Amino acid sequence: MKLEWGAATHTGLVRETNQDSHVADGKVFAVADGMGGHAGGEVASRIAIDALRSALAVEGDSSELFAESFEKANLAILAQADEDSRLSGMGTTMTAALFLEDGTSDRFLVRNIGDSRAYILHEGDLHQITNDHTYVQQLIEEGSISVEEGKHHRQRHILTRVLGVETSANSDVFTVTPQPGDVLLLCSDGLFNHVVDHEIAAILASSESPQRIAEMLVEKANLGGGTDNTTTIVVRVLPEKAASHKKVLPVAGDETAMLGEAVGPRVTVNPVSRGPVLSSIPTPLGKKQVSSGSRLVTVRSVLFFILVLLLVGGTAWVVNAYANHAYYVGTANKRVAIYHGRPGGVLWYQPSLVETTSLPLSQLNGTQYFDVSHDVLEPSLQAARAYVTNLRAQIAFEKSQVPKTTTSPTSTTTTLTAPTTSTTTTAAG
């Protein structure tokens, strides 16, 4: 099986530095999204990628080396943070795909920790391979919130697992057996926070080169706001001329098993979107024929037409209500701003700018900046204004405090007590 691939990375439109690192060499592909002050983010993601590469350069069992590489990356970050106190608290996500060629069953091993993601485009459908290690993902899995609510949750940047925090790297692993024509995508959260799944799928499906597709995805993230660094790696599985007709076709309905069988514990594949299930509409046999033009047909047609109108009208009304009965606090021209609508819009309803406040983004602390740059949903204009008033009050309060310690006021690290095994949580950078 032959691959072609490309990679792109960009600082985005708001951040000053790019804390993402990546590698794409035909054998190993990986994205790391670092976090931490004083260049800690760049350092952590760079250490992780370097550790991954050097661990895999050794002779030995590839899948074992792959697992070890995450442990080595974790320890290397801890060691560096120990040496340089300015880097303490740094960490990074890492999502990596290792291409294993053994003739008959070429496959990818995908391993991840944190919220950088791996997806695969298979026959036009985008499937998410990895699960985010975030507080919000935990809430979704517990059933406390829906996937849709998670997308706009104000704590969606809180990570439950990263490299460089605990003594052991608790990563998930997946096996993905691709088919010719499939496209693998690795990306940092800068992409999927700004570009919706069907847009990602459409770009991945284009016939452009993987390099161009990687760049197009980054451009799309920046068009969507570019509030974060964005890194994309696109790997296309090429059809094999000689052997393609020998390939065993996937069994219908067994798509999940084919796309990624969980190897590690509590690992599943999340299909992001699947095509509609095609079922044949049974044609009634021996039904009494109604002559065309009869009153019965006419009355039924009219009733059906009215029903369709009601459905369309009702749906439009619900969408309109959902789209317009919300406000959010976001950014415009490097200032805090209030919008009417929902971030990213709903169908044909795009959010509109209500007002740009006089509050510059530069006055916000790390946590406030995080929230605002990722849009804070509020139920009314009044509530949105109250949120901004509260921000101003917090800033005024912080300014009035005499600094007593050297603790950085821009730290975005939060600690929560997670309900399950992981106890360390970090706000993503």
Q: Which residues bind Mn ion (CB under 5 A)?
A: 33, 188-189, 228
Q: Which ranges of 196-294 does DSSP label H, i.e. alpha helix?
A: 197-204, 210-223, 255-259
d(CA 309, CA 141): 37
H runs (alpha helix) in 270-378: 295-324, 366-373
In single-letter form, the type of residue at position 365 comes to N
Q: Which is nearer to Mn ion, 21 or 188 (CB)?
A: 188
Copy the structure tokens of residue 201: 């799928």
Among 121, 123, 151, smallest CA distance to 136 is for: 151
Contact 4, 236 (CB under 8 A): yes
Q: Which amino acid is at 15?
A: R
DSSP 8-state class, residue 123: T
Nearest to 188 by CA among 418, 9, 375: 9
Contact 117, 48 (CB under 8 A): no
For the CB of residue 228, give the shortest distance to Mn ion in the complex, in Å: 4
Closest alpha carbon to 422 in 305, 266, 283, 285:
266
φ and ψ of 222, to 5 deg: -70, -35
